[in-house]
Amino acid sequence: MSIEVGDHIPNSILTIMNDQGPQPVSTADYFGGRKVVLFSVPGAFTPTCSAKHLPGFINHADDFDSRGVDAIACVSVNDVFVMHAWGRSAHAKGVDMLADGNGEFAAALGLEMDASAFGMGTRSQRFALVADDGVVTQLLVEAPGEFRVSSAESVLSVL
């Protein structure tokens, strides 16, 4: 069963890179006490994710800030080193690059998918959500193979 509007973000540990190296971050700490826009991509450096999804959130970071969003985060079932490298290569200022290395967060959300046909194993579906103090207020899950409802522009339209 997948997460729904009104549900709390499940407890999980993600990883983020900072000046001290890879750092675990609990979802309770990350989402607690603030408004967060989280978007998930099937894989770092993949075509749609790199050409459209991540750049949209980078380009609209100020728009999210002006609408009261405290943080924008990108999560993917990739390791923290890949997420950090992707963020650097995309100049992802204003977007936290979170690694869900084993896919445990995607599974806890009920939003995992089997991408074995593409040699990628279990990944996260493409989606975006808005959470206020850890409670989901908007959930925008893409149909397989699509990129519409989880775009930065779409998320801005529901804020």
Cα separation, 9 vs 138, whole angstroms = 12
Inter-residue contact 50 to 61 (CB < 8 Å)? no
- Is 49 considered catalytic here? yes
Q: Is 114 exposed, middle or buried (0-12, 13-18, 19+ CB in 10 A)?
A: exposed
If one counts every other C-beta atom within 10 angstroms of the C-beta of residue 147, the result is 17
Cα separation, 118 vs 95, whole angstroms = 27
Q: Is 145 exposed, middle or buried (0-12, 13-18, 19+ CB in 10 A)?
A: exposed
- Give me the count of residues in the chain: 159
Per the residue annotation, which of 49, 74, 97, 129 is the catalytic one?
A: 49
Give catalytic residues, as residue numbers.
Answer: 49
